[in-house]
Structure 1
Amino acid sequence: MAEWVQGLMDSMGYVGILLLMVLENVFPPIPSELIMPSAGFAAARGDMNLAVVILMGTLGSVIGTLPLYYVGRAFGEDRLVAWADKHGKWLTLSGKDIKKADDWFDRHGSKAVLFGRMVPGIRSLLSLPAGMSEMPMGTFLLFSAIGSALWSALLAGAGFALGENYDRVEQYVGPASRIILGLLAVAAVAWFLRRKREQEHAEV
């Protein structure tokens, strides 16, 4: 993976960074914690400009958020509520749960998008609830851009500072992303079991 990423950047330059960061949001197995440090190392070698590297990383990341945002927007709260009321029982999910989640995102969505764009494992997934809650496009793009710029700058700066050891960034951040996804999975299972018990008590 590292050789492919480096080869694409060597052949396409800044456009390669932009393309890779777009793909990273659509196909999470391509990690930003490998792309941006590698680009930062290229800047340290003098092959690229660090500021332009960060700009391309940010732009690619923001563009990459749009497909899932539009999927969420097309699905919409009303359709999701109707689906949950009709088919969600086996997931212990109801339309009321969807509305509560949507209300929470309406209140805290900007902060969720801003900080979530800097959390490995969920950074691309936040586009779905943002679209479903019909977050205004301008607001979504603004907070996505700020969070993405901070994340891109952090990763590229680390790669610039570490030089040939830029791959250490992925070695540290990669396990962190897997831990975060694991915790989210545990939380989802715990929520499912709790709701299942509540349903069983309600039916007694």
Structure 2
Amino acid sequence: MIDLTTIEPLIAQYGLLIIAPIALLEGPIITVISAWMAFGGLLDPLALYVVLVLADLAGDLAFYGLGRWGAARVAQRVMRLLGLREGHLRLLSRRFHHAGARTLAFGKLTHAAGGAVLLAAGMGRMALGRFLWINTALTLIKTALFMGLGYGMGNAYARIDQWISWASVGVVIAIGLALLWRLRGPRLCR
């Protein structure tokens, strides 16, 4: 993780040239900080929006590609370590075929699970065109929301970064508990 206090001077010195590579690593918080700086007149908001969206999409496509084409052997090893079998991959593939949009939306909303969901989309063989269409729409919305947050509260970016982290972890835990309850609940009641 990049130290938040170093991001602001880097953006002030290098502008949009530095935002794209940092956005690949620190998407939401770099969006908040750079939008706050655009509000202060240091950056062009429209150009910033385009750079942030393209950087986010490039990172997401890299995760998807790794899952789809680059990590078959690694993915199989990881699956074995986690106790997953080939049947699980077929279920995952069907999940992205029938509920890919919802699953990608979950990944976009929960920063903590985003990379895993994008890898899973690739491993599940979600059609690339569909992935790009849905992911682009979600990225446009997400980037606009975080830019709005930056315009309104950007000077509190350290606190916002904490909120993003805690909210993401909270959502993942809540969904995990709900799944556990759904899978184990009926057996516990007997």
Q: Is the TM-score greater than 0.5?
A: yes
Percent of aligned positions with the same letter in both sequences?
A: 23
- What CA distance in whole angstroms lies between the structure 1 residues aligned with 2:161 and 2:78? 39
| Deviant stretches of 4+, over 4 Å | 183-188
What is the match of residue 28 of structure 1?
Answer: none
- What CA distance in whole angstroms lies between the structure 2 residues aligned with 1:180 and 1:12? 35
CA contact (8 A) 1:116 1:122 kept: yes
Q: Please state if 1:117 is matched with 2:112.
A: no
Q: Please state if 1:146 is matched with 2:137.
A: yes
Q: Please state if 1:63 is matched with 2:58.
A: yes
Which residues of structure 2 form unaligned runs of 5+? Answer: none
TM-score of the superposed pair, with normalisation by structure 2: 0.78
Structure 1 pair 83–145 and aligned structure 2 pair: CA distance change class (3 A): closer
What is the match of residue 9 of structure 1?
Answer: 11
1:144-164 CA-partner distances (Å, limit 9, x unpaired): 221112111111111111253
Q: Please state if 1:37 is matched with 2:32.
A: yes
CA contact (8 A) 2:110 2:172 kept: no
Q: Please state if 1:127 is matched with 2:118.
A: yes
Structure 1 pair 166–108 and aligned structure 2 pair: CA distance change class (3 A): same
SS in 1 for 2:35: helix
* Structure 2 residue identity aligned to 1:72: G
* Structure 2 residue identity aligned to 1:58: V
- What CA distance in whole angstroms lies between the structure 2 residues aligned with 1:39 and 1:127? 25
Q: Please state if 1:179 is matched with 2:170.
A: yes
* Structure 1 residue identity aligned to 2:4: A
Q: Please, which moves more after superposition, 128-137 or 34-43? A: 128-137
SS in 1 for 2:119: helix
Which residues of structure 1 form unaligned runs of 5+? Answer: 25-31, 198-204
- What CA distance in whole angstroms lies between the structure 1 residues aligned with 2:78 and 2:57? 30
* Structure 2 residue identity aligned to 1:16: I
What is the match of residue 201 of structure 1?
Answer: none
Alpha-carbon shift at residue 183 of structure 1 (Å): 4.3
Q: Please state if 1:49 is matched with 2:51.
A: no
- What CA distance in whole angstroms lies between the structure 1 residues aligned with 2:104 and 2:51? 19
TM-score of the superposed pair, with normalisation by structure 1: 0.73
Alpha-carbon shift at residue 115 of structure 1 (Å): 4.7
Structure 1 pair 8–182 and aligned structure 2 pair: CA distance change class (3 A): farther
Alignment of 1:76-95 (within 5 A): 76=72, 80=76, 87=80, 91=83, 93-95=84-86
Higher-Rg structure is 1
- What CA distance in whole angstroms lies between the structure 2 residues aligned with 1:167 and 1:10? 17
2:22 to 4, 20, 23: 20
Q: Please state if 1:161 is matched with 2:152.
A: yes
Structure 1 pair 186–115 and aligned structure 2 pair: CA distance change class (3 A): closer
Structure 1 pair 50–167 and aligned structure 2 pair: CA distance change class (3 A): farther
